Amino acid sequence: MNAPHDQAVLHVSLGALVSNWKLLASRCPKDCGATVKANAYGTGMDRAAPALAEAGCKHFFVATLAEALELRTLLPEAAINVFSGLSDDDIPSMKAAKLRPVLNSPEELQAWANAGGGPASLHIDTGMNRLGCSLDNASQLTTDDLTSAGVDRIMSHLACADTPDHALNAKQRDAFKSLAAAFPGLATSWANSGGILNGKDFIGDVARPGIGLYGGNPRPTLDSPLSPVVRLVAPLLQSRSIEKGDPVGYGSTFIAQEPMTVATIGIGYADGLHRIIDGAGHVRVDGAICPILGRISMDSVITNISAIGPQPRGTPVEILGTTTVTEMAAWAGTIDYEILTSISPRVVRKYHV
Ligand SMILES: *Cc1c(COP(=O)(O)O)cnc(C)c1O
């Protein structure tokens, strides 16, 4: 059977993904891993992770145990790190799948040690106050306390890597430097994508980039050296002509001020086209800009195609591509991460070299 022609398609360039990883890895003094949580930021972990592994990536990071177990079936040999910490009842699964927990407290460290320990990281909070053990708690621990539980790495996370001028960066850098000195002999994991671009003080031994791999801009106020990875295309479902005064869409929030040609496109908020974008955004047909009219529906969106006139059903309409993820994020009042991770499972993924 032919693939259906009435739904949106996310085209993912595995070549661009790999070249982004290589570029970030070239900026890392030691190892560069890859963060593939949330289905590799919506691109599809089942294809993204093996492509990265084939390119030489050895360290993978996910948020949850379920993600880690799925990744283990794809990559039998890789080092798989789980950010969410350690629940006592999950220790057997962690061990059976040879996963590396990121331990977030002295209690989790103790639980891991009691279960026999094994390769793991200790996450120490240096100023974000999200996850990780406090600097106070860390100061009570020695390298030996960690290595006797198999813990071979300390980790911390930057709160403001996307805004290099933020004062918290220097504060976290100094705290992390002291930690590295307090735990001699242990490796460090420090940078996310923005951290890598912010330079060597923010990188550590095993970097954990995510957003930059997938073509998002890790520092939206600066130019990015990374390449776009996704292109989102949806089919035109129907064209019609409307008159001055005619309403468009739910709530009749758009009223035509002149006769126009409008087209309904098969992508809506259930696919990840954020409803809040409303009239702020546009799509492209053959390069022509077609503004969004009125409210975005669950499965469709209505656009002004007067510039090009009526088009046949099935005409491909570009949602993301020429429009960058960063540009769409600005329309929606959000960040690149949320645009990518909102692209729902209904959208078909197609992979390209
Ligand atoms: C998500 C996440 C990353 C990846 O960050 P990016 O900004 O996407 O590069 C790295 N480390 C931790 C702890 C994370 O939660």
- 42 and 181 fall within a common domain: yes
63 CA closest ligand 1 atom index: 15
- 194 and 239 fall within a common domain: no
- 141 and 241 fall within a common domain: no
The residues that are catalytic are 37, 250
Cα 174 to middle of ligand 1, angstroms: 20
CA 194 to each of CA 123, 168, 258, 338: distance values in angstroms, whole numbers, following the listed order: 19, 14, 46, 16
Cα 321 to middle of ligand 1, angstroms: 24
- 203 and 261 fall within a common domain: no
Question: Domain holding 278: CATH number?
Answer: 2.40.37.10
Q: How many CA atoms lie within 13 A of 254 on its CB side?
A: 22
Full residue range of the structural domain in which residue 272 is found = 230-323
d(CA 148, CA 113): 7
Asked whether residue 47 is domain-assigned, the answer is yes
Residue 207 CB–ligand 1 contact under 6 Å? no
Kindly report the number of other CB atoms within 10 A of residue 152's CB atom.
16
Asked whether residue 341 is domain-assigned, the answer is no
- 39 and 153 fall within a common domain: yes
- Tokens describing residue 245: 């005064």
Asked whether residue 192 is domain-assigned, the answer is yes
- 193 and 276 fall within a common domain: no
- 83 and 192 fall within a common domain: yes
Cα 79 to middle of ligand 1, angstroms: 16
Query: Considering 214, 241, 273, which residue would you say is the last residue of a domain?
Result: 214
Q: Find the largest Cα–Cα distance for the chain.
A: 77
Per the structure, the count of domains in the chain is: 2
Residue 274 CB–ligand 1 contact under 6 Å? no
Residue 37 backbone phi and psi in degrees, to 5 = -65, 170
- In sequence order, which residues have a C-beta less than 8 Å from that of residue 150 and are 6 or more positions away? 112, 113, 117, 118, 119, 120
Residue 193 CB–ligand 1 contact under 6 Å? yes
193 CA closest ligand 1 atom index: 9
d(CA 337, CA 335): 5
Residue 59 CB–ligand 1 contact under 6 Å? no
- 261 and 191 fall within a common domain: no
Rg (CA), the chain: 23
Query: Considering 214, 239, 264, which residue would you say is the last residue of a domain?
Result: 214
Cα 20 to middle of ligand 1, angstroms: 16
212 CA closest ligand 1 atom index: 9
Residue 210 CB–ligand 1 contact under 6 Å? yes
- 68 and 123 fall within a common domain: yes
d(CA 278, CA 274): 8
Q: Which residues pair with 284 in a beta bridge?
A: 289, 318
216 CA closest ligand 1 atom index: 8
Cα 52 to middle of ligand 1, angstroms: 16
Query: Considering 214, 245, 267, which residue would you say is the last residue of a domain?
Result: 214
Q: Of 191, 190, 111, 123, which is closest to residue 149 (Cα–Cα)?
A: 111
Cα 35 to middle of ligand 1, angstroms: 6
User: Which of 35, 121, 131, 160 best tests ligand 1's pocket when mutated (most atoms within 8 Å of CB)?
Assistant: 35
Q: Model-level pTM?
A: 0.96
209 CA closest ligand 1 atom index: 9
User: Which of 83, 122, 124 best tests ligand 1's pocket when mutated (most atoms within 8 Å of CB)?
Assistant: 83
- 152 and 292 fall within a common domain: no
**How confident is the prediction along the chain (353 residues), in pLDDT tens digits per residue?**
577 899 999 999 999 999 999 999 999 999 999 999 999 999 999 999 999 999 999 999 999 999 999 999 999 999 999 999 999 999 999 999 999 999 999 999 999 999 999 999 999 999 999 999 999 999 999 999 999 999 999 999 999 999 999 999 999 999 999 999 999 999 999 999 999 999 999 999 999 999 999 999 999 999 999 999 999 999 999 999 999 999 999 999 999 999 999 999 999 999 999 999 998 999 999 999 999 999 999 999 999 999 999 999 999 999 999 999 999 999 999 999 999 999 999 999 999 99
